[in-house]
A = this chain, B = another copy of it.
Amino acid sequence: MPKLSDVIAVLEEIYPPQWAESWDAVGLVCGDPDAETAKVLFAVDPVQSVVDEAVAWGADLLVTHHPLYLRGTTSVAATGFKGRVVHTLIRNGVALHVAHTNADHAHPGVSDALAEAVGLRVTGPIIPDPTDPTGRRGSGRIGLLEPPITLASFAAKVADGLPATATGVRVSGDPDRLISRVAVAGGSGDSFFAEVRAAGVDAYVTADLRHHPASEATEAAPVALVDAAHWATEWPWLNLADRALTEVATERGWQLETRVSTLVTDPWTAHAPMPYTPPKPHSSTPHSPTPFDPTPAAP
Protein backbone atom coordinates (compact mmCIF):
# COMPACT_ATOMS: atom_id res chain seq x y z
CA MET A 1 0.00 0.00 0.00
CA PRO A 2 1.44 3.41 -0.90
CA LYS A 3 2.32 5.99 1.70
CA LEU A 4 0.74 9.43 1.55
CA SER A 5 4.04 10.84 0.31
CA ASP A 6 3.98 8.40 -2.62
CA VAL A 7 0.49 9.45 -3.68
CA ILE A 8 1.30 13.15 -3.29
CA ALA A 9 4.42 12.67 -5.40
CA VAL A 10 2.24 11.28 -8.21
CA LEU A 11 -0.28 14.13 -7.88
CA GLU A 12 2.55 16.66 -8.01
CA GLU A 13 3.87 15.02 -11.16
CA ILE A 14 0.46 15.35 -12.78
CA TYR A 15 -0.13 18.88 -11.44
CA PRO A 16 3.30 20.33 -10.58
CA PRO A 17 3.07 22.98 -7.84
CA GLN A 18 5.37 25.30 -9.78
CA TRP A 19 2.64 25.69 -12.41
CA ALA A 20 0.44 27.45 -9.84
CA GLU A 21 0.12 31.24 -9.68
CA SER A 22 2.46 32.97 -7.24
CA TRP A 23 -0.47 34.03 -5.03
CA ASP A 24 -1.92 30.53 -4.84
CA ALA A 25 -1.59 27.99 -1.99
CA VAL A 26 -1.43 24.48 -3.39
CA GLY A 27 -0.06 21.20 -2.07
CA LEU A 28 -0.50 19.21 1.13
CA VAL A 29 -2.52 21.11 3.78
CA CYS A 30 -2.57 18.42 6.44
CA GLY A 31 -1.66 14.76 6.82
CA ASP A 32 1.33 12.63 7.77
CA PRO A 33 3.63 11.76 4.85
CA ASP A 34 4.23 8.29 6.27
CA ALA A 35 0.54 7.32 6.58
CA GLU A 36 -0.67 4.38 4.49
CA THR A 37 -3.10 5.56 1.86
CA ALA A 38 -5.77 3.35 0.34
CA LYS A 39 -8.78 5.56 -0.41
CA VAL A 40 -8.79 8.93 -2.20
CA LEU A 41 -11.80 11.24 -2.53
CA PHE A 42 -11.90 14.10 -5.07
CA ALA A 43 -14.05 17.24 -4.53
CA VAL A 44 -14.16 20.91 -5.48
CA ASP A 45 -14.50 22.51 -2.03
CA PRO A 46 -12.85 21.57 1.32
CA VAL A 47 -16.06 22.34 3.25
CA GLN A 48 -17.40 20.49 6.29
CA SER A 49 -19.99 18.42 4.37
CA VAL A 50 -17.29 17.15 2.01
CA VAL A 51 -14.96 16.40 4.89
CA ASP A 52 -17.78 14.52 6.63
CA GLU A 53 -18.30 12.51 3.43
CA ALA A 54 -14.57 11.71 3.38
CA VAL A 55 -14.66 10.52 7.00
CA ALA A 56 -17.85 8.50 6.47
CA TRP A 57 -16.36 6.73 3.44
CA GLY A 58 -13.06 6.12 5.25
CA ALA A 59 -10.93 8.21 2.92
CA ASP A 60 -7.21 8.54 3.70
CA LEU A 61 -6.78 11.50 1.38
CA LEU A 62 -9.11 14.25 0.20
CA VAL A 63 -8.00 16.07 -2.96
CA THR A 64 -9.78 19.39 -3.55
CA HIS A 65 -9.51 22.05 -6.20
CA HIS A 66 -10.00 24.98 -3.82
CA PRO A 67 -7.46 25.80 -1.10
CA LEU A 68 -8.61 25.69 2.52
CA TYR A 69 -6.31 28.60 3.39
CA LEU A 70 -5.55 30.87 0.45
CA ARG A 71 -4.04 33.43 2.80
CA GLY A 72 -1.83 32.34 5.66
CA THR A 73 -3.29 31.66 9.10
CA THR A 74 -1.62 31.58 12.51
CA SER A 75 -4.42 29.50 14.07
CA VAL A 76 -6.28 26.31 13.17
CA ALA A 77 -8.35 26.34 16.37
CA ALA A 78 -11.79 24.76 16.00
CA THR A 79 -13.41 28.07 16.88
CA GLY A 80 -13.93 28.71 13.15
CA PHE A 81 -15.17 26.55 10.29
CA LYS A 82 -11.74 26.14 8.69
CA GLY A 83 -10.24 25.03 12.00
CA ARG A 84 -13.10 22.56 12.44
CA VAL A 85 -12.24 21.14 9.04
CA VAL A 86 -8.58 20.75 10.10
CA HIS A 87 -9.52 19.09 13.40
CA THR A 88 -11.97 16.70 11.69
CA LEU A 89 -9.36 15.74 9.12
CA ILE A 90 -6.45 15.19 11.52
CA ARG A 91 -8.50 13.38 14.16
CA ASN A 92 -9.82 11.02 11.49
CA GLY A 93 -6.51 10.54 9.75
CA VAL A 94 -7.63 12.14 6.48
CA ALA A 95 -5.00 14.14 4.59
CA LEU A 96 -5.94 17.17 2.45
CA HIS A 97 -4.16 18.03 -0.79
CA VAL A 98 -4.98 20.99 -3.07
CA ALA A 99 -4.48 21.22 -6.85
CA HIS A 100 -5.77 24.64 -7.83
CA THR A 101 -4.22 26.92 -10.45
CA ASN A 102 -1.66 24.21 -11.20
CA ALA A 103 -4.62 22.06 -12.28
CA ASP A 104 -6.11 25.02 -14.16
CA HIS A 105 -2.91 25.46 -16.16
CA ALA A 106 -2.16 21.78 -16.76
CA HIS A 107 -2.97 19.97 -20.02
CA PRO A 108 -5.40 18.38 -19.73
CA GLY A 109 -6.71 20.60 -16.94
CA VAL A 110 -9.83 22.18 -15.46
CA SER A 111 -10.86 24.07 -18.59
CA ASP A 112 -10.25 21.03 -20.82
CA ALA A 113 -12.76 19.11 -18.73
CA LEU A 114 -15.18 22.04 -18.90
CA ALA A 115 -14.77 22.29 -22.69
CA GLU A 116 -15.46 18.58 -23.08
CA ALA A 117 -18.56 18.82 -20.85
CA VAL A 118 -20.09 21.60 -23.00
CA GLY A 119 -19.27 19.88 -26.29
CA LEU A 120 -16.21 21.73 -27.60
CA ARG A 121 -13.12 20.53 -29.44
CA VAL A 122 -10.21 22.35 -27.76
CA THR A 123 -7.68 24.12 -30.02
CA GLY A 124 -5.46 25.73 -27.35
CA PRO A 125 -5.33 27.91 -24.22
CA ILE A 126 -6.70 31.47 -23.90
CA ILE A 127 -3.36 32.56 -22.40
CA PRO A 128 -0.54 30.11 -23.17
CA ASP A 129 1.99 29.40 -20.44
CA PRO A 130 5.16 31.03 -21.83
CA THR A 131 7.33 28.29 -20.32
CA ASP A 132 5.52 25.49 -22.16
CA PRO A 133 7.09 24.77 -25.55
CA THR A 134 4.08 22.71 -26.70
CA GLY A 135 1.75 25.72 -26.33
CA ARG A 136 -0.98 23.57 -24.79
CA ARG A 137 -0.70 24.54 -21.14
CA GLY A 138 -2.07 27.83 -19.87
CA SER A 139 -5.15 29.67 -18.62
CA GLY A 140 -8.58 28.85 -20.06
CA ARG A 141 -9.18 27.14 -23.39
CA ILE A 142 -10.44 28.06 -26.85
CA GLY A 143 -12.64 25.44 -28.53
CA LEU A 144 -14.81 24.86 -31.58
CA LEU A 145 -18.48 23.95 -31.65
CA GLU A 146 -19.09 21.70 -34.65
CA PRO A 147 -21.45 22.45 -36.24
CA PRO A 148 -22.21 25.99 -35.04
CA ILE A 149 -25.50 26.46 -33.18
CA THR A 150 -27.43 29.50 -31.90
CA LEU A 151 -26.59 31.08 -28.56
CA ALA A 152 -29.96 29.93 -27.20
CA SER A 153 -29.16 26.32 -28.16
CA PHE A 154 -25.62 26.57 -26.88
CA ALA A 155 -26.83 27.87 -23.49
CA ALA A 156 -29.17 24.87 -23.24
CA LYS A 157 -26.26 22.57 -24.15
CA VAL A 158 -24.13 24.10 -21.38
CA ALA A 159 -27.01 23.69 -18.90
CA ASP A 160 -27.32 20.07 -19.98
CA GLY A 161 -23.62 19.24 -19.95
CA LEU A 162 -22.75 20.54 -16.51
CA PRO A 163 -23.95 19.10 -13.18
CA ALA A 164 -27.23 20.71 -12.22
CA THR A 165 -27.26 23.59 -9.74
CA ALA A 166 -30.17 25.58 -8.36
CA THR A 167 -29.64 28.80 -10.28
CA GLY A 168 -28.96 27.44 -13.78
CA VAL A 169 -27.02 29.35 -16.42
CA ARG A 170 -26.98 33.11 -17.09
CA VAL A 171 -26.71 34.31 -20.69
CA SER A 172 -25.86 37.64 -22.31
CA GLY A 173 -26.23 38.27 -26.04
CA ASP A 174 -28.44 37.84 -29.09
CA PRO A 175 -30.12 34.42 -28.71
CA ASP A 176 -30.10 33.89 -32.49
CA ARG A 177 -26.39 34.54 -32.93
CA LEU A 178 -24.53 31.53 -34.34
CA ILE A 179 -21.84 30.31 -31.98
CA SER A 180 -18.85 28.53 -33.42
CA ARG A 181 -15.70 29.59 -31.60
CA VAL A 182 -15.89 29.60 -27.80
CA ALA A 183 -13.59 30.50 -24.90
CA VAL A 184 -14.02 28.63 -21.61
CA ALA A 185 -12.49 29.21 -18.19
CA GLY A 186 -13.47 27.10 -15.18
CA GLY A 187 -14.16 29.20 -12.10
CA SER A 188 -14.03 33.02 -11.93
CA GLY A 189 -13.15 34.21 -15.42
CA ASP A 190 -13.35 37.99 -15.23
CA SER A 191 -9.60 38.53 -15.48
CA PHE A 192 -9.35 37.07 -19.00
CA PHE A 193 -11.73 39.41 -20.88
CA ALA A 194 -9.03 41.25 -22.83
CA GLU A 195 -7.52 38.00 -24.11
CA VAL A 196 -10.96 36.51 -24.81
CA ARG A 197 -11.81 39.50 -27.01
CA ALA A 198 -8.44 39.32 -28.72
CA ALA A 199 -9.12 35.66 -29.49
CA GLY A 200 -12.11 36.62 -31.63
CA VAL A 201 -14.55 34.16 -30.09
CA ASP A 202 -18.35 34.20 -30.37
CA ALA A 203 -19.00 33.25 -26.74
CA TYR A 204 -17.27 32.91 -23.38
CA VAL A 205 -18.30 30.25 -20.83
CA THR A 206 -17.14 30.92 -17.29
CA ALA A 207 -18.48 31.71 -13.78
CA ASP A 208 -18.77 34.34 -11.08
CA LEU A 209 -19.08 37.32 -13.45
CA ARG A 210 -20.12 40.47 -11.62
CA HIS A 211 -22.03 43.45 -12.96
CA HIS A 212 -19.17 45.81 -13.80
CA PRO A 213 -16.88 43.34 -15.63
CA ALA A 214 -19.84 41.81 -17.49
CA SER A 215 -21.36 45.19 -18.37
CA GLU A 216 -18.03 46.59 -19.57
CA ALA A 217 -17.29 43.42 -21.58
CA THR A 218 -20.70 43.71 -23.26
CA GLU A 219 -20.16 47.38 -24.07
CA ALA A 220 -16.67 46.73 -25.38
CA ALA A 221 -17.43 43.91 -27.82
CA PRO A 222 -20.31 41.66 -28.95
CA VAL A 223 -19.01 38.48 -27.30
CA ALA A 224 -21.86 36.39 -25.83
CA LEU A 225 -21.43 35.44 -22.16
CA VAL A 226 -22.54 32.15 -20.60
CA ASP A 227 -22.11 32.05 -16.81
CA ALA A 228 -22.71 28.87 -14.78
CA ALA A 229 -22.15 28.12 -11.11
CA HIS A 230 -18.44 28.29 -10.21
CA TRP A 231 -18.67 24.81 -8.69
CA ALA A 232 -20.34 23.37 -11.80
CA THR A 233 -17.63 24.66 -14.16
CA GLU A 234 -14.90 22.98 -12.12
CA TRP A 235 -16.63 19.72 -11.17
CA PRO A 236 -15.92 17.99 -14.51
CA TRP A 237 -12.18 18.17 -13.76
CA LEU A 238 -12.61 15.82 -10.77
CA ASN A 239 -13.14 12.86 -13.10
CA LEU A 240 -10.09 13.87 -15.10
CA ALA A 241 -7.92 13.99 -11.97
CA ASP A 242 -9.36 10.71 -10.74
CA ARG A 243 -8.55 8.94 -14.04
CA ALA A 244 -5.02 10.38 -14.13
CA LEU A 245 -4.21 9.19 -10.60
CA THR A 246 -5.85 5.80 -11.12
CA GLU A 247 -3.82 5.20 -14.25
CA VAL A 248 -0.51 5.65 -12.39
CA ALA A 249 -1.77 3.64 -9.39
CA THR A 250 -2.59 0.73 -11.70
CA GLU A 251 0.85 0.92 -13.33
CA ARG A 252 2.47 0.75 -9.90
CA GLY A 253 0.21 -2.06 -8.67
CA TRP A 254 -1.23 0.08 -5.87
CA GLN A 255 -4.57 -1.02 -4.36
CA LEU A 256 -5.94 2.53 -4.52
CA GLU A 257 -9.67 3.07 -4.32
CA THR A 258 -10.84 6.45 -5.65
CA ARG A 259 -14.12 8.32 -5.73
CA VAL A 260 -15.48 11.63 -7.01
CA SER A 261 -17.79 13.44 -4.62
CA THR A 262 -21.19 14.34 -6.07
CA LEU A 263 -22.20 16.69 -3.26
CA VAL A 264 -23.31 20.01 -4.78
CA THR A 265 -21.27 22.59 -2.85
CA ASP A 266 -22.51 25.53 -4.88
CA PRO A 267 -23.83 27.78 -2.08
CA TRP A 268 -27.06 28.61 -3.98
CA THR A 269 -29.87 26.20 -3.16
CA ALA A 270 -32.92 27.79 -4.82
CA HIS A 271 -33.92 30.19 -7.61
CA ALA A 272 -36.82 32.64 -7.79
CA PRO A 273 -37.67 33.58 -11.39
CA MET A 274 -38.83 37.02 -12.55
CA PRO A 275 -41.26 37.99 -15.34
CA TYR A 276 -38.58 39.28 -17.72
CA THR A 277 -39.32 40.02 -21.39
CA PRO A 278 -36.21 39.53 -23.52
CA PRO A 279 -35.19 42.15 -26.11
CA LYS A 280 -36.82 41.58 -29.50
CA PRO A 281 -34.65 39.49 -31.82
CA HIS A 282 -35.08 41.92 -34.77
CA SER A 283 -33.61 44.77 -32.70
CA SER A 284 -31.08 46.62 -34.84
CA THR A 285 -28.42 46.71 -32.14
CA PRO A 286 -28.27 43.29 -30.50
CA HIS A 287 -27.04 44.65 -27.17
CA SER A 288 -29.67 47.33 -26.72
CA PRO A 289 -31.42 46.60 -23.44
CA THR A 290 -35.19 46.25 -23.10
CA PRO A 291 -37.09 48.80 -21.02
CA PHE A 292 -39.02 47.13 -18.21
CA ASP A 293 -42.44 48.00 -16.88
CA PRO A 294 -41.67 49.82 -13.65
CA THR A 295 -45.21 49.59 -12.25
CA PRO A 296 -44.52 46.65 -9.91
CA ALA A 297 -41.61 48.51 -8.34
CA ALA A 298 -44.02 50.95 -6.75
CA PRO A 299 -44.64 49.61 -3.26
Contact = CB atoms under 8 A, between A and B. Distances in A.
A257 interface: no
Interface string A264-299: 111111111111111100000101111111101101
Interface in A191-218: 207-212, 214-218
Interface centre among A267, A271, A272, A287 (most CB of B within 10 A): A267
Nearest to A93: B91
Interface string A38-58: 000000010111000000000
A25 B74 contact: yes
A78 interface: yes
A145 to B, nearest CB: 13
Nearest to A89: B90
A122 interface: no
Contacts of A227: 268
Given A77-B30, A274-B169, A160 B269 contact: no
Contacts of A143: none
B164 A292 contact: yes
Interface residues of A, number: 113
Interface in A17-51: 25, 27-33, 45, 47-49
A156 interface: yes
A297 B162 contact: yes
Contacts of A250: none
A273 B91 contact: no
Given A32-B78, A235-B297, A215 B265 contact: yes
Contact of A274 (B5, B78, B165, B272): B165
A185 to B, nearest CB: 13
Interface in A88-115: 90-91, 95
Contact of A211 (B173, B208, B212): B208
Interface of A: 5, 25, 27-33, 45, 47-49, 66-81, 83, 86-87, 90-91, 95, 116-117, 119, 152, 155-156, 158-173, 175, 187-188, 207-212, 214-220, 225, 227, 229-231, 235-236, 239, 260-279, 285, 287-294, 296-297, 299
